[in-house]
Amino acid sequence: MLKVIEHWSGDNEIDILLPRLGYTYAQAYLNTADNLIVTDSVFEREMQEGFGKALITCSRIFRVLRSRERERYDVIVAASHYVDDVLPAVYLRGKNPATKFVGYHHVGLVSGGGRLFLLRRANDAISVALLRKYADLIFVMNLSIKDFLISQRIEERKVLLTNNGVDKITSKVDLKTPVFEACFVGRLEKDKGVFDLVAIWKGVSALIPTAKLAIIGDGSEKNHLIHLIETEQLQERITLCGYLGDERFEIMRKSKLFLLPSYLEAWPITIVEAMSCGLPVIVYDLPELQTLWGSNISYVPKGDRVSFTNTVVGLLQDPELRSERSRRGLEQSAAYLWTTIAAYEAKAIGSL
């Protein structure tokens, strides 16, 4: 959403409502004159897990509901399908009856069980009902989400496919001076396959002892991941780089492969970022990824760490195949520039 806003800012006056936790990040990311309206919640940073996160969500919503009306808007956008985005947007639309309401649903459909599953299902039930009644347009990231919304009695004409993107495409790929054999970018969470990465890289290291993996990102499983790496004695083979901004592209360009053994994805922006850097991509075989990337990336049966390991080793030992996959990835990623996506979405909103 921030990347799209960055490209909309030149022709539009935009107010951005966000919590204090995201203020510094958004301000640095956009670097525009857009008006950042910040909602403050006590202990916001300290309450990002479990019940505390639910309290923060409620606090954000009620703080918006109590806010005074700033001005009239032509368009109000909910940046996600989460209730703390959708409900304030619906409230502001109620104060601006003539405005258009645009929503985004860019998260994969939830499955499984447990408390988190129930919370997500509750969120989906509320947000979908609100979007059905009030939204004039909903951008979605893949066909699965579109079909789901239509099955929930949202008019098909209101649901429009869109994409994630990149700022630029690498003009020249240097395949001779890599620092890492592979890299991963994403949240350090179980459903992103970070623990599978350790098992995969243990297998790769057994066949290629000098192979090194860079893991870029942060998350709730960081300490568990560190412990697992130490237990498997892979400290010299796996480097945890932490969260990185645009610096992640430097590491990606110094790698040979991009690995994403994720169990759930909607439209992973990291894949197109990796392809734009010339990296061949290996993923678990998810239907959403097949639809997006076709034969331009390598698929492994979900959860099959041995096959994933063998695919990594095969590509590392075949420079010609890596070069071919790199070329095809660069060609496909060229269709996903943020300038193009922002213009496409602005045109769709302007036609309402």
Task: Compute the distance between CA of residue 251 and CA of residue 178 in angstroms, rounded to an integer.
Answer: 9
Nearest to 263 by CA among 325, 203, 328, 186: 186
Q: Work out the number of other CB atoms within 10 angstroms of the CB of residue 161.
A: 13
pLDDT tens-place string over residues 294-313: 889 999 999 999 999 999 99
pLDDT-derived band at 121 (thresholds 50, 70, 90) equals confident
pLDDT at 14 over 90: no
pTM, two decimal places: 0.80
- The angle that helices 269-276 and 319-333 make with each other, rounded to 10 degrees, is 110
pLDDT given at position 94:
84
Domains of the chain and CATH, by start? 2-165+337-350 (3.40.50.2000), 180-333 (3.40.50.2000)
pLDDT-derived band at 259 (thresholds 50, 70, 90) equals very high
Q: For the chain, report the end-to-end CA distance as a whole number of angstroms.
A: 19
Nearest to 17 by CA among 79, 99, 108: 79
Q: Return the percentage of the chain with pLDDT > 70, whole number.
A: 84
